Every structure is written in C-alpha cells, then in structure tokens.
Structure 1
Amino acid sequence: MSKVAVISSNGRVARLIVEELVGRGYDVTGFSREETNASKAQTYIQKDLFDITKEDVADFEVVVSAFGTWAPETLHLHVEVINHLSDIMANSDARFVVVGGAGSLYVDPELTVQLVDTPDFPKEYYALAKAQTDALDVLRKRNDVKWTFVSPAGDFQADGERTGEYILGGEQLTLNSRGESIISYADYALGFADEIEKGNHIQERISLVRK
C-alpha cells in the first residue's frame, strides 16, 4: 500500500483527492493547521504548512500540495509554499504532485502565449492566475524535485458532476469535442489520483478537461 501525504488536506479539492485515493487503497495522511480532520485521510497531523519539515514527509512515496488562497494580500504565498515544499522534497525519491492553476496554460502551438495573458481572460482572476504561474515557474527551475503540476481546465466547477471521464492534456489549452475548457472538482480529483497512480509525468505540467 502506497503512502501519500496530502498537505492542506481540508480544502474542497483536497478532500475529493483524499477520498479518491483512500477508495483505491492508499494510506493517506492529511496535514492541515485546523484542529479537525475534514477529509477521509486515515491519519491526520495538525501542523502549519510552513512548519512541515523534511522529516515529516520522509516516509511518503508521494507528497501532494493542495494549497490554495485567493485573497489579494495572501497571493504571494503561492510561490512561498512551493519554495518551502520544494526545499523539503529536494533530492528525495518521493514525488511531489501539485494542485495547480489553469491560467498558465498556453493557447498557441508554439507555447508563447499564456491563457492568463489573453484579452478574454477575466481580469478579476488575473492576480490569482499570475501567482499560480509564478509558482509553476519556481518548479520548472527545480531539477532536484520529482514534481508534477496538474492544471484544471479554465472553467473549474466546484459543484460539477463526476462523469468519471476526462481528457489528459499537456501545456497547451485543451478543449473537448464541444469546444469547452471545463472540468468538475470531482473529475479533476479522479485524474489527479490517476497521475499519482501512474507517475508518467515527472517534472512536467499536465492539464485535465472534461471529456
């Protein structure tokens, strides 16, 4: 049975990822600063993310970062969290799988224009998308970490249904047969768990869209 640590495990996406992993027989430990374990993780450790040490994650085969924040005054934490977790994962055999953002997906074949920089990108989400893009840029410079950055589709639906199907994309913005860039939290969690299981995209960013 593989051991997986999920950091920020009480978040909405994180809880679905935990549930998916537990259902597949994984031994999951959740980390969060809240007193109560809101997920289905079999083990729970109350600890602030920045207090997590190399020793805390030494026994896990996969470490997941499900950290997210949206308030303008806290967006700088996206980069700081990736820096901290990358440092404690450095030169480890464990994989580091990150719940990422859609804004850094590219929209042209030459991979020169990012979704966040297109005219149609909602301005109210620009700062968040830029913070997530900056976090990905930090990972790209880490050759000492076995990271995978998993971006959702552009329309990431918290209450969307679990269809049980998805399209696996790469760096470029991927649309389904209906011309949509959309995925539910539930289907994203499914694809995320599949990536943990298969481990095919080390030091790569992948993306998920509803089929």
Structure 2
Amino acid sequence: MKIGIIGATGKSGSLLAAEALKQGHDVTGIVRFVNRVRDSRIHVLESDLFELNRNTLKSFDVVINAFRAPSGKEEEHLTSVEHLIAVFEDLPDVRFMMVGGAGSLYVDLQKKIPLYTTPDFPKDFLPTAANMAKAFSLLEKSTINWTYMSPAIEFDYEGKRTGRYTLGKDNVITNTRGESYISYADYALAMIDEVKNQAFIRQRFTAVSERG
C-alpha cells in the first residue's frame, strides 16, 4: 500500500517507516524538514501538518499521524486532529491511523475511569494525555475512516523488536509478567500489521509485548 507518515523522522514515525518498508509498503515521509529523512527508500512530502489538504493526501491508501506536539504546545495534539478530521472528511477512501496515547485507556471494566484521571498519573504528562484524550474523543464522533492505537503505559524506545505482541481494545492490558509494556519497535509492528489486517476500522486498539 501507499502509506504516508506524518512525523516520519520522530521516534514513533521513524520506526513505523522502517517497519512499513520491511513489510513491502511504499512509504512517504510527511515532514517539515526534508534533510532529516536519511533513508533513500522513503519518498518525501515536505509540509507542515497544518498545511496538509485533500490534494496533498489523496494519493495515499493510508496516512499515519505520528505527530508529537512540542513541550508547551500540547494543545496542538487536539488542534492537529481537528484539522486532519476536516481534511479526511473529503477523503473517504483514505484511511487515517493515529499514534495515540495510553492516558485515555480505561483502568476499569465499566470504561468510566481513563488512566490519565487516576491519582498516580504523572503530572508532567497530564497536558499531553488530556489533549490526546480529547483528540481521541473527536475521532470517535467523526465520520472519517479512522483507527487509533494506544501504546502500553510503559512505552520503551530502547526496547527490542520481539516480533510478538498481544492486542486489546479500550482498557489497559498487561503481558505475562503483569506489566503494561511495549517497545516502540513492537508497537510499530502492530500498527503496520493493522494496515493490512484492518481489524480495527473506526476503533481504538492497544498492544503489549514482552521485554526483549
């Protein structure tokens, strides 16, 4: 498939691009700075996220949003999704997938208590988590073809790609050691597998893996 990755040079985006290439997809990095794309196999679309429109995205089968708002501008997690929803309303044949946050996952079976509202949630992460939760709520109410993937609570950039993961939906889940853990590499694998599997259309899902 033709996959565009917004933020393809970031931590999540770079591993998503590498995994998509590994699985044989045609990958375009949607980035603000062309010179940061180092892999010659990746096509490049130079654009600010807020300048993306129907014409710039209509050629893709899937667009994955791996944008991360800078510190102090966490509200951009919400405003960026507002903008992208408006764009994708005119692109019914293009699937929108998003690297989400763990904070909106529920900690109770009744789905009343999101993780980010619990007393022990780190205060430093609260602005990001709250805005990403609001963005997820916007997606749920939208009519676009979306999929949102929340990582585990411990999202480990240094962790190994084990090639295995366990899937869940709206609740925090744990691995065989009782840990809510996933490496960035296994997260990327689960996301790119979902491009093909299409098991979570207009749904959120999550995944955990074992420590490599």
- Category of TM-score, reference length = shorter chain: over 0.9
Matched, 1:29 2:28: yes
Q: Measure how far apart 1:37 and its partner are.
A: 4.0
Residues of 2 paired with 1:158 and 1:38: CA distance?
A: 19
Deviations 1:165-208 (A, max 9, x none): 11111001101121100111111001111111111111111011
Distance 1:190 1:39, change over 3 A: farther
Counterpart for residue 162 of structure 1 = 161
Q: Which moved more, 1:20-29 or 1:98-107?
A: 20-29
* 1:45 Cα deviation from its structure 2 partner: 1.4
DSSP 3-state at the match of 2:30? strand
SS at match of 1:98: strand
Where does residue 174 of structure 1 map in the other structure? 173
The residue aligned with 2:116 is 116
Q: C-alpha distance in 2, partners of 1:39/1:190? A: 21
Question: Counterpart in 2 of 1:77?
Answer: 76
Q: Distance in 2 between matches of 1:178 and 1:53?
A: 44
2:188 paired residue number:
189
The amino acid across from 2:54 in the alignment is: K
CA positional deviation for 1:35: 2.9
Opposite residue 94 of structure 1, the aligned amino acid is V
CA contact (8 A) 1:70 1:128 kept: no
Partner of 2:46: 46
Offset at residue 69 of structure 1 (A)? 2.1
Residue 16 of structure 1 contacts residue 185 of structure 1 at CA under 8 Å; is this kept in 2? yes
User: Aligned to 1:106, what secondary structure does the other structure show?
Assistant: coil
Aligned-partner Cα distance in 2 for 1:55–1:146: 17
CA spacing shift, 1:135–1:45, aligned 2, 3 Å: same
Q: How many residue pairs align between the two structures? A: 208
1:104-127 deviation per Cα after TM superposition (whole angstroms, max 9, x unaligned): 000111101111111221222111
Structure 2 CA distance, aligned partners of 1:158 and 1:42?
A: 21
Aligned counterparts of 2:99 and 2:31: Cα–Cα separation in 1 = 15
Shift of 1:38: 2.4
Which runs of structure 1 show a deviation greater than 6 angstroms over 4 or more consecutive aligned residues? none
* 3-state SS, counterpart of residue 81 of structure 1: helix
The whole-number CA distance in structure 1 between the counterparts of 2:78 and 2:193 is 26
Alignment-mate amino acid for residue 131 of structure 1: N
Contact 1:140 1:203 in 2 (8 A): yes
Q: Tell me, in whole angstroms, the C-alpha distance in 1 between the residues paired with 2:192 and 2:109.
A: 28
The aligned counterpart of 1:199 is: 198
- RMSD of aligned alpha carbons: 1.2
* CA deviation string 1:37-78 (max 9, x = no partner): 42535210111111111011111110110001241x211101
Question: SS where residue 56 of structure 1 aligns?
Answer: helix
Q: TM-score, normalised by structure 1?
A: 0.95
Which moves more between the two structures, 115-124 or 170-179?
Answer: 115-124
